[in-house]
């Protein structure tokens, strides 16, 4: 786990070569599990009684994934992009110091310019006691907040686990590959369809990887980020922005395990989103007077808030049952577990209130921030457990929502500054701990691993992982220099935190009042789609598909999802269930082959000390 944490940091922070943790299914944990399973099967031929069992392999996989959550793109990497940003980049001409510096929670950030000089420029020793002391207090304070969230997420997961897994039987698409890899017997590994998918993906990413190192080798350009805007040069089609297709083999494989209605809804609403640009251009809605059109952040915020509200409302009976089992039932088998969960949530709430006091947040702003944050966490976890789709909802965060609703006038500069200081763990949610915890508990349930022991293991690993991530990021940034040689350093997280805050403070009076209509419109569309699905069994559009399609979550994947949907639909239509069963190992092979090739290119990049081909973005 510690080695994987360092590998992630080298690849994502130093070289920006492999976006290991930008996908809902992390790349290197699958690759490491693949190596471990192959070694275990080889060892089992000579010492079968000493080979690892499927349950033990799953435990190892969960440990590696838990570490990757904290090392990943949208967690502690983001934090290091923000900790020193205000002091280092807040030059006098920007006016930040006069506008909001006094409201930044001082003890949570780094202000020592000597320590920051080594951090940003490199060639300095991070292990000097004076340097470590500068970082110690903010890192410990943030670790306390993150671990509080982690404990509360685990408590919520225990409360919903039985209902979602045993009664509603959610499919958990993202655990299908690791579960198949560790199963006993040879049926999976002897599947011709599996290896057909594996070598197809390896051939595609291998060829493109060779081209990166040797440009004379052919390159399949439409596999990754092929720009369609080059063909859309006339009005109104030129109003479409960022319109690209990608045929990532792993994404086509992932799409195979997503329910047909959702994967259809994802690419459909993405295309509809682009057509809305055209519609706006035709009717002049994208004029300078309608600044902010088409208001995707407002639409996304409304959609996700209503989606989360509907999911939470639907789970109200589940929480009532868990409360009754914890405090009123006499012989419930999970009485102690549920009671511990409710106590954990209660104590966690008190700790969060203490942090709000440290941040000097107004009580109602803190309450709304936490409510929205947990509502989004619950929604992402449910959507991922049921549907398995990417959930990079960059347009949606508590900060954006509270600013849209209350504006600077009602929030005040201090509250808004503190909210933006908390932005780093609200940027994209790709490495969110809660869905990964639930998937680990589901895998433990499948292999009859004690669920309480699995939860305690994840908490212990989380503490170790946070320390490992702190070390890896400080080591890499001080060694190379965050702004000097670290190609993937998240400086933009700091800029989005404080640069965006500065623009909000200076431009708020000019914001378009029409944003309100789009905010409520996004919520109404989700509610309407939910009502239609409940009324008509044949209704093909999923409300989560709309929320994902307009939220940046499927921007990179929409065309691959279209291909995966088409592949799966044709198999079922013309081959029935037998053809569908044949397609499943082929799809798993696409994922495994692409992840293996991407990991191998990352290793080659470390050996040669050069950037290599990225299988994603």
State the DSSP H helix or E strand holding residue 282, giving kind and residue range, or none if neither. Answer: helix 260-282
Percent of the chain with pLDDT over 70: 99
Peptide bond into 294 cis (omega under 30): yes
- Please say whether the beta carbons of 396 and 375 come within 8 A: no
Instruction: Evaluate the CA torsion angle 1, 494, 550, 400 in order and state its sign.
Output: positive
pLDDT at 106 over 60: yes
Q: Which two tokens stand for residue 14?
A: 């130093």
- Please say whether the beta carbons of 99 and 133 come within 8 A: no
pLDDT at 213 over 70: yes
User: For residues 103-124, b (16+ Cβ closer than 10 Å) or e, as one string?
Assistant: bbbeebbbbeeebbebbbbbeb
Q: Which two tokens stand for residue 499?
A: 């640069």
Strands 226-227 and 244-245: antiparallel
Quickly count: other Cβ atoms within 10 Å of residue 273's Cβ.
20
- pLDDT at position 2, please? 96
State the DSSP code for 289.
G
Banded pLDDT at 533 (limits 50, 70, 90): very high
Cα–Cα distance for residue pair 545/383, rounded to 1 Å:
10
Banded pLDDT at 369 (limits 50, 70, 90): very high
Cα–Cα distance for residue pair 375/392, rounded to 1 Å:
15
Q: Which two tokens stand for residue 316?
A: 């109200």
Please enumerate in sequence order all residues whose Cβ is within 8 A of that of 365, keeping only pairs 6 or more positions apart, or say none: 402, 411, 415, 419
Give the angle 156-161-167 at the CA atoms, nearest 5°: 140
Cα–Cα distance for residue pair 395/371, rounded to 1 Å:
18
Q: What's the Cα-to-Cα distance from 605 to each of 15, 31, 86, 199, 213, rounded to whole Å?
A: 9, 16, 33, 21, 10
Cα–Cα distance for residue pair 286/296, rounded to 1 Å:
13
Q: What's the Cα-to-Cα distance from 586 to each of 21, 199, 249, 568, rounded to whole Å?
A: 23, 10, 11, 11
User: What mean pLDDT is predicted for residues 295-302?
Assistant: 91
Banded pLDDT at 294 (limits 50, 70, 90): confident
Q: pLDDT, tens digit, for every residue of 158-186? A: 999 999 998 898 989 999 999 999 998 88
The residue assigned the tokens 């009717």 is 283
Banded pLDDT at 508 (limits 50, 70, 90): low
Q: What is the mean pLDDT of the chain?
A: 93
- Please say whether the beta carbons of 105 and 359 come within 8 A: yes
- pLDDT at position 292, please? 80
Assign 609 to helix, strand or coil: coil
- pLDDT at position 509, please? 56
- Please name which of 396, 416, 397, 418 lies closest in space to residue 408, comparing C-alpha atoms: 416
Instruction: Evaluate the CA torsion angle 397, 398, 404, 407 in order and state its sign.
Output: negative
For every residue of 346-401, DSSP letters joined together read HHHHHHHHHHHHHHT--HHHHHHHHHHHHHHHHHHHHHHHHH------TT--HHHH
Q: What share of the chain is helix, strand, coil (3-state, %, to 5)?
A: 75, 0, 25
- pLDDT at position 289, please? 76
Banded pLDDT at 608 (limits 50, 70, 90): confident
- Please say whether the beta carbons of 149 and 429 come within 8 A: no
Give the angle 521-563-554 at the CA atoms, nearest 5°: 35
Q: Which two tokens stand for residue 513?
A: 């009042």
- Please name which of 400, 597, 602, 608 lies closest in space to residue 488, comparing C-alpha atoms: 602
- pLDDT at position 510, please? 55
User: What mean pLDDT is predicted for residues 299-308?
Assistant: 94
- pLDDT at position 51, please? 93
Q: What's the Cα-to-Cα distance from 140 to each of 147, 268, 343, 470, 472, rounded to whole Å?
A: 10, 45, 24, 10, 16
- pLDDT at position 511, please? 65
pLDDT at 513 over 80: no
pLDDT at 385 over 70: yes
- pLDDT at position 490, please? 93
The answer for 112, left when phi > 0, alpha when psi is -120 to 50, beta otherwise, is: beta
- Please say whether the beta carbons of 70 and 466 come within 8 A: yes
State the DSSP code for 53.
P
16-20, 56-60, 187-191, 489-493 — which is least confidently predicted? 16-20
- pLDDT at position 448, please? 94
Peptide bond into 236 cis (omega under 30): yes
- Please say whether the beta carbons of 435 and 384 come within 8 A: yes
Banded pLDDT at 552 (limits 50, 70, 90): confident
């Amino acid at each position: 786990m510690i080695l994987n944490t360092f590998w992630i940091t080298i690849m994502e922070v130093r070289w920006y070569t492999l976006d290991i943790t930008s996908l809902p299914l992390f790349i290197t944990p699958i690759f490491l599990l693949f190596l471990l399973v192959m070694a275990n099967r080889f060892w089992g031929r000579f010492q079968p009684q000493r080979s690892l069992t499927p349950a033990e392999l799953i435990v190892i996989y969960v440990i590696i994934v838990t570490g990757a959550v904290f090392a990943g793109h949208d967690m502690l990497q983001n934090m290091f992009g923000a900790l020193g940003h205000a002091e280092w980049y807040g030059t006098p001409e920007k006016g930040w110091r006069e506008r909001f510096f006094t409201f930044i929670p001082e003890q949570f950030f780094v202000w020592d310019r000597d320590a920051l000089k080594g951090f940003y420029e490199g060639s300095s020793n991070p292990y000097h006691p004076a340097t470590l002391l500068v970082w110690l207090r903010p890192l410990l304070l943030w670790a306390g907040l993150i671990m509080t969230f982690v404990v509360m997420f685990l408590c919520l997961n225990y409360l919903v686990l039985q209902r979602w897994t045993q009664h509603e039987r959610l499919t958990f698409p993202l655990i299908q590959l690791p579960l198949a890899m560790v199963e006993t017997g040879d049926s999976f590994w002897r599947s011709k369809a599996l290896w057909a998918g594996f070598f197809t993906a390896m051939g595609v990413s291998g060829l493109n990887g060779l081209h990166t190192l040797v440009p004379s080798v052919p390159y399949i350009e439409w596999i990754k980020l092929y720009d369609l805007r080059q063909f859309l040069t006339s009005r109104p089609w030129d109003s479409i922005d960022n319109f690209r297709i990608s045929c990532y083999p792993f994404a086509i494989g992932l799409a195979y395990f997503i329910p047909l209605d959702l994967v259809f809804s994802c690419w459909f609403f993405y295309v509809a989103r682009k057509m809305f640009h055209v519609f706006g251009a035709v009717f002049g809605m994208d004029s300078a007077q309608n600044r902010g059109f088409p208001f995707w952040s407002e639409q996304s915020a409304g959609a996700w808030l209503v989606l989360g509200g509907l999911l939470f409302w639907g789970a109200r009976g589940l929480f009532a049952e868990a409360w009754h089992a914890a405090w009123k039932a006499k012989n419930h088998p999970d009485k102690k577990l549920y009671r511990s969960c409710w106590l954990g949530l209660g104590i966690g709430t008190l700790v969060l209130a203490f942090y709000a006091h440290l941040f000097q947040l107004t009580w109602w702003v803190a309450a709304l921030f936490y409510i929205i944050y947990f509502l989004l966490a619950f929604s992402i976890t449910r959507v991922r457990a049921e549907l398995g789709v990417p959930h990079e909802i960059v347009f949606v965060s508590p900060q954006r929502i509270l600013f849209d609703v209350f504006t600077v006038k009602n929030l005040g500069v201090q509250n808004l500054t503190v909210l933006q200081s908390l932005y780093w763990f609200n940027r994209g949610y790709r490495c969110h701990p809660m869905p990964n915890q639930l998937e680990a508990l589901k895998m433990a349930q499948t292999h009859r691993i004690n669920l309480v022991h699995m939860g305690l293991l994840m908490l212990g690993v989380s503490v170790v992982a946070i320390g490992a991530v702190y070390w890896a990021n400080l080591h890499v940034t001080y060694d190379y220099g965050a702004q000097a040689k670290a190609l993937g350093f998240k400086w933009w997280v700091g800029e989005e935190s404080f640069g965006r805050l500065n623009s909000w403070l200076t431009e708020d009076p000019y914001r378009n009042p029409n944003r309100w209509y789009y905010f409520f419109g996004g919520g109404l569309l989700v509610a309407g789609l939910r009502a239609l699905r409940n009324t008509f069994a044949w209704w093909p559009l999923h409300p989560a598909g709309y929320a994902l399609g307009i939220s940046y979550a499927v921007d990179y994947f929409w065309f691959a999802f279209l291909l995966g949907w088409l592949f799966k639909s044709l198999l079922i239509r013309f081959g029935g269930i037998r053809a569908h069963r044949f397609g499943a190992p082929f799809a798993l092979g696409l994922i495994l082959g692409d992840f293996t090739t991407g990991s191998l290119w990352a290793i080659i990049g470390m050996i040669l000390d050069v950037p290599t081909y990225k299988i994603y973005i």
